[in-house]
Amino acid sequence: MTLFPIEEYWWFYAAFTGFVLLLLAIDLGVFHRKAHAVSFKEAVTWSVVWVVLSLAFNYALYVYAGWKFETDERLLAIPGFHPQRAAEQVGLEFLTGYIIEKSLSVDNIFVFVVVFTYFSIPAMYQHRILFYGIIGALIFRAIFIAMGSVLIEYEWVVILFGVFLIGTGIKMMFAPEKNIEPNKNPLIRLFKKFVPVTQELHGQKFFLRVNGVAHATPLFVTLLFVELTDIIFAVDSVPAIFAITKEPMIVFTSNVFAILGLRAMYFMLAGAVEKFHLLKYGLAIVLIFVGLKMVWLNEMYGGKFPIEISLGFIAGVIALSIILSLLFPKKEKDTKE
């Protein structure tokens, strides 16, 4: 039984979506109305703002859940149901999902760095691409989460997701890194086959007319590739959060808050992302762990592996991989390669 059934909490989804759209409108229409290169100081400030907003929402969700569960006769009728304990579970599940998505986002940052360099996108236009990229990411995540909330009710789907995450984690740990070449991507090549693309940028425009014919600019091609890579990353991250909680509302909100802070995190870490070279092993271990939760550990603990242990393990592995990356930096030769 879900704690937040969609038919009862439709108003929450509508209000939350409106709140997110308002934040994005303020972001682009007020603070980034004029294209400019985002400084490190500005990126740090926005990163703190998004993290504080996320934690404030987490606390508000915990308080609301505690109040709501104490008055919900449907839930109180369940033998052994404890409103306060359930509220604490909700708060910890949101925080764990947020940390997982935030950690996996570092892979996105690496791809962004490569793609912006490949297409020679000036720093002043990168925020615009990421802004619209995140809007697309929010739409696709909502679709994936809606599909996942239906599929996760079937036991064989849970096992399939778990096996997939374990396989992805093992592949991430042992597979050699491959060069990213957007122009060789089949969908990018198909797009260029039907839509002419200008050779140079035209300010912050995505499209313009040349001799009466609509042309895309390299800025839009870059945005298209960013969207494609995010869809690929979502295939990993959405099942990973469903391994922590089966509540679609928690999966959706934790995912959204992590994505909202992605742009600021990119501008803060873009120049230092290579320093976290061991993080991929930490992320691989996390994916294997959440896969094992779905396949085996949840069943071993009577259907629900303790969230406190999950949160501690995931946060510990991520923190350790970052610390080890800084203590044992890449050799200069490897960094240049």
Please indicate whether residue 174 or residue 57 has the higher confidence score (pLDDT).
57
333 confidence band (pLDDT: 50, 70, 90): low
Burial of 24 (0-12, 13-18, 19+ CB in 10 A): middle
pLDDT tens by residue, 182-199: 778 888 888 888 989 998
Helix (H, G, I), strand (E, B), or coil: what is residue 315? helix
DSSP state of 176: P
Determine the Cα–Cα distance for residues 32 and 131; give it in Å rounded to an integer. 10
Give 160 or 110, the one with higher predicted confidence.
160
For residues 337 and 223, what is the distance between their CA atoms, to the nearest angstrom? 26
Please choose, from the candidates 172, 175, 178, 176, the residue with its C-alpha nearest in 3D space to the C-alpha of residue 284: 172
Q: Write out the two tokens for 189.
A: 């090549």
What pLDDT does residue 337 have? 53
Each residue of 201-229: pLDDT tens digit? Answer: 888 889 998 888 899 998 999 999 888 88
Give the Cα separation of 246 and 161 in Å (integer): 13
- Give the pLDDT of residue 336: 53
CA distance 285 to 281: 6
Contact between 194 and 215 under an 8 Å Cβ cutoff? The reply is no
Per-residue confidence band for 6, with pLDDT thresholds at 50, 70 and 90: confident
The answer for 197, left when phi > 0, alpha when psi is -120 to 50, beta otherwise, is beta
Number of H helices, E strands in the chain: 14, 2
Query: Residue 88's pLDDT band (boundaries 50, 70, 90)?
Result: very high
pLDDT at 27 over 80: no
pLDDT at residue 112, rounded to an integer: 84
Q: Alpha-carbon dihedral of residues 298, 302, 304, 307, nearest 10 degrees? A: -100
Q: What pTM was estimated for this model as a whole? A: 0.87
Compute the C-alpha angle 58/106/136, nearest 5°.
75
Give per-residue pLDDT as tens, 152-174.
888 888 889 889 999 989 988 88
* Residue 232 pLDDT exceeds 90: no
Q: What is the mean pLDDT of the chain?
A: 86
pLDDT reported for residue 280: 87
